[in-house]
Amino acid sequence: MIRRVPTWLALPAVAGLVLFLVYPTGYLIALAVTDSSLGNPLRAFTGSANFGTAFSSPAFVPSLWRSTVFAVLATVVTTGLGMVLAVLLRARGTRFGAVGALLLLPLVTAPVLIGVAWKLLLAPAGGGLAEVFAAAGFAGANPLGSGLGAYLVLLGIHIWQWTPFAVLVLFAALGVVRPELQESARIDGAGPWRTFVTVTWPAVAPTAWAVLVLELVIGYRVFDLIVVITSGGPGFATTLAPYLIYQTGLRGSFDMGTAAAQTLVFALVVGAVATVLTAARARSVKAEQP
């Protein structure tokens, strides 16, 4: 006999959902359709005017493209590199070990400290890498001095910071791979790559896809590094969407209505890209089914 759980037992979960999801989302939508400032929100209904203001900004749409390229590149590299490092660590044994612990240092360090450290390292005069650049024939080099250079530096630092997350999760996932299956594949003449494709990957694929989605979301929400290292420059080269929304709502005019509209559009972009990724995952899983 199936016993029904009393409805009142679900009330704490429902209350938490309303408090932390429904109410903030509703308030954000209200800000997006009203004339709102930081000190005086919800002054008057404006309809879609804030969205028009957001898209009329010359920096907003390019920031969405920059954020998307940044997040996609970071996702592919961090997950791929994380898989390689996790396989190498697993080949050493079942323990994460001291090497694995060192790999986690960027992950457990505060993003602001990471930004400060890298800014000091990359300083063209007196920076920690200045002598390295000079020895390589690039004396006085300033990687942050050009738009593309600053963008690639941010991307590289982000990859360095978040690859350990992929390593940690995928290393744990590799624990479910049965060693006897790998040994059988080797006996049958399969090389390392063939063994990985036929034995290892099917076992860790669900976890790898989950890491891809998480890394994508993490790549979209980059903010701390921009504030500390580049402040969105040179020009708008490193002004990604989260930083632009921060500037709109919390700097200058404190236009919370437009910032809310930008946030909603940004959320739709992230959701669309994440949907494409999850659809690719579904097709991959379906293709692997007998």
Quick one: how far is CA 161 from the chain centroid? 10
Contact 71, 216 (CB under 8 A): yes
Q: Convert the pLDDT of each residue in 15-65 to its tens digit.
A: 887 778 888 889 999 999 999 988 888 999 999 999 999 999 999 999 999
Predicted confidence at residue 5, as pLDDT, reads 63
Q: Convert the pLDDT of each residue in 184-203 to its tens digit.
A: 777 777 777 888 878 888 88
- CA 169 to CA 78: how far, in whole Å? 12
Pairing of strands 34-35, 44-45: antiparallel
- Neighbouring residues of 205: CB distance < 8 A, sequence distance ≥ 6: 284, 285, 288
pLDDT tens, residue by residue, 173-184: 988 887 777 777
Q: Tell me what pLDDT residue 71 has.
A: 97
Query: Phi/psi of residue 120, each to 5°?
Result: -70, -40
Q: At which residue do the structure tokens 């630092």 appear?
A: 157
Domain boundaries, the chain: 53-288
CATH topology of domain 53-288: MetI-like fold (1.10.3720)
Q: 44 — phi, psi (to 5°)? A: -155, 145
Contacts of 179 (CB under 8 A, 6+ apart): none
Can you give the pLDDT at residue 142?
85
Please provide the average confidence, as pLDDT, over all residues in the chain: 87
DSSP 220-238: HT--HHIIIIITT-STTTT
Average pLDDT over residues 228-248: 93
* φ and ψ at residue 59, rounded to 5 degrees: -100, -15
Q: Please check whether residue 50 is in contact with residue 32, taking contact to mean a CB–CB distance below 8 angstroms.
A: yes
Q: What is the pLDDT of residue 29?
A: 92
Distance CA 230, CA 115 (A): 9
CA gap 269, 84 in Å, rounded: 30
Is residue 2's pLDDT more than 60? Answer: no
At 126 the pLDDT is 77
**DSSP state at residue 35:** E
Higher pLDDT, 249 or 100: 249
Cα–Cα distance list, 12 to 2, 15, 16, 24, 66 (Å) = 23, 5, 6, 18, 40
Residue 45, classed as helix, strand or coil, is strand
Binned at pLDDT 50, 70 and 90, residue 290 comes out as low
Q: How many residues does the chain have?
A: 290
What average pLDDT score do residues 237-259 get?
92
pTM here?
Answer: 0.89
